[in-house]
Amino acid sequence: MTQLETALAKADENIPAALDRLFELLRIESISTDPAYAEECVKAADWLVAELTDIGFKAERRDTPGHPMVVAHSGGEGRHMLFYGHYDVQPVDPLDLWDRPPFDPAIEDTPKGKVIRARGASDDKGQLMTFIEACRAWKETTGELPGNISILFEGEEESGSPSLIPFLKENADELKADIALVCDTGLWDENTPAISTMLRGLVGEDFTIHAASKDLHSGMYGGPAVNPINVLTRILAGLQDDDYRITLPGFYDGVPEVPAEIKKQWEGLNFDGEAFLNEVGLSKPAGEPAYSALEQIWARPTCDINGIIGGYTGEGFKTVLPAEASAKVSFRLVGTQDPEKISASFRKYVRDNLPEDCSVTFREKDGAGATTLPVEAEEFALARDALSAEWPNEAIFAGCGGSIPIVGHFQEILGMDSVLIGFGQDDDQIHSPNEKYALRSFEKGVRSWVRVLDAL
């Protein structure tokens, strides 16, 4: 039996205890976007410090102006790897759509196999624990942690990471490694692992349009009094034309067409856009008609209204002209689109389209550009081979529709590329009620990291 085989067997043997450990972490209500849960975030950080210390890391909680970071080092020799994950989770509303309490994890049987059900099971507690358990399996096999590993866990990934950039800058010497390993992405399908090498960026805008100094009665004022909800809907509707092309001046600067060879590779994946949409009750790609669903997700920018509120929204009817109306809008970015320029263009567009007597307040929100990783580097090939050895199908280099801003920050601040490996699935319902993580993703995820750590 090789050491690798021993470590894999150890990983398998540890699964029941590993699930107990994961469940402890899932029970901590570490919602970062809501200040009411700040203490839970500290609790999650402390739990991780204890866990990492237990398997031999030198681990510390590092407090920030926001939620704390966890930093750990193995102190070994060789290629220096920095593993990143996040212990914070999304809010859980609407709570009534959950089939069980979101912070009371359980293994459930489903038609597609056993799943771990809880907020954060997939995004990102379940994923980061696959790496910790792989380290544990190696430690129990060789008596030592596998190589020169540093770890960074943050607690603000779901709320814009306000403390991250200053923290990376202040601790650049300590955190800079040869390569980063990030576990916050998904499988291509249940049998095909993926390394994400193109990530969309994000600009989020959260703003309020103000009109009258108070709510008005539409019987008394309807007509001459400007209605900020009417204004808001006109402004938002004007962001896209009839072909879902975004109308902001300069928006498409830096949006590349996908190179023919990559496009061909993607076509080879036989991605069924309609089947993908059928899973969530839809049937037809709704975005730019000239692009396939996969291209829309991996290679095209978007404009989505993520939240809107104004006026009377309770039961029944109220003929009110409200004093204000608010929306949260996000743009997914690709190529070299500049988040700052797009934010400025958006804000100018809103201001230019405000009627007299209206004003606008923008709340602060960071943006992050899209990222393209150097698939030709050695670590990418080694990781791909290690994954291919674990799963039925060969690993692929994939795009990713979501932002993982950390990857851009690692490039810019630490001059370090990231290998993005994860075991989530499209139906994990991250950010939605009833989030889950396939038990098989967890089990084979641990084994995958055992192999990748061996290869690197």
Instruction: Enumerate residues 3-42 that contact its own copies by CB under 8 A.
Output: 32-35
State the nearest-atom distance from the C-beta of 432 to its own copies, in Å.
Answer: 4
Question: Given the rule CB under 8 A, which of 71-79, 163-171, 270-278, 380-388 is the region that contacts its own copies?
Answer: 270-278
Of 320, 438, 417, the closest CA to residue 81 belongs to: 417
DSSP state of 421: E
| Residue 341 identity | K
Is residue 42 a contact partner of residue 18, using CB atoms and an 8 Å limit?
no
CA geometry: angle 113, 117, 118, nearest 5 deg: 160
Among positions 188-247, residues that touch its own copies (CB under 8 A) are 200, 202, 204, 206, 211-227, 229-230, 232-234, 236-238, 240
Q: How many residues does the chain have?
A: 456
> From the list 149, 370, 430, 446, which residue makes contact with its own copies (rule: CB under 8 A)?
430
Residue 343 near its own copies by CB under 8 A:
no
Number of amino acids touching its own copies (CB under 8 A):
98
Nearer to its own copies, 358 or 383 (CB): 358
Residue 436 near its own copies by CB under 8 A:
no
Token digits of residue 359? 């004003």
State the nearest-atom distance from the C-beta of 407 to its own copies, in Å.
Answer: 13
HSE-up of residue 189 (Cα within 13 Å, Cβ side): 10
Residue 356, strand partner residues: none
Classify residue 261 as exposed, middle or buried by CB count within 10 Å of its CB (0-12, 13-18, 19+).
exposed
State the nearest-atom distance from the C-beta of 370 to its own copies, in Å.
Answer: 12
DSSP state of 257: P
Is residue 334 a contact partner of residue 200, using CB atoms and an 8 Å limit?
yes
State the nearest-atom distance from the C-beta of 188 to its own copies, in Å.
Answer: 13
Residue 328 near its own copies by CB under 8 A:
yes
State the nearest-atom distance from the C-beta of 413 to its own copies, in Å.
Answer: 22
State the nearest-atom distance from the C-beta of 384 to its own copies, in Å.
Answer: 22
State the nearest-atom distance from the C-beta of 189 to its own copies, in Å.
Answer: 14
**Residue 136, C-beta contacts closer than 8 angstroms, at least 6 positions apart:** 14, 18, 55
> From the list 365, 384, 444, 447, which residue makes contact with its own copies (rule: CB under 8 A)?
365
Residue 300 near its own copies by CB under 8 A:
yes
Among positions 98-157, residues that touch its own copies (CB under 8 A) are none
For the chain, first and last CA: distance in Å? 20
Among positions 45-104, residues that touch its own copies (CB under 8 A) are 90-91, 93, 97
Dihedral sign, CA of 182, 184, 188, 192? Answer: positive
Residue 429 near its own copies by CB under 8 A:
yes
Residue 304 near its own copies by CB under 8 A:
yes
State the nearest-atom distance from the C-beta of 162 to its own copies, in Å.
Answer: 10
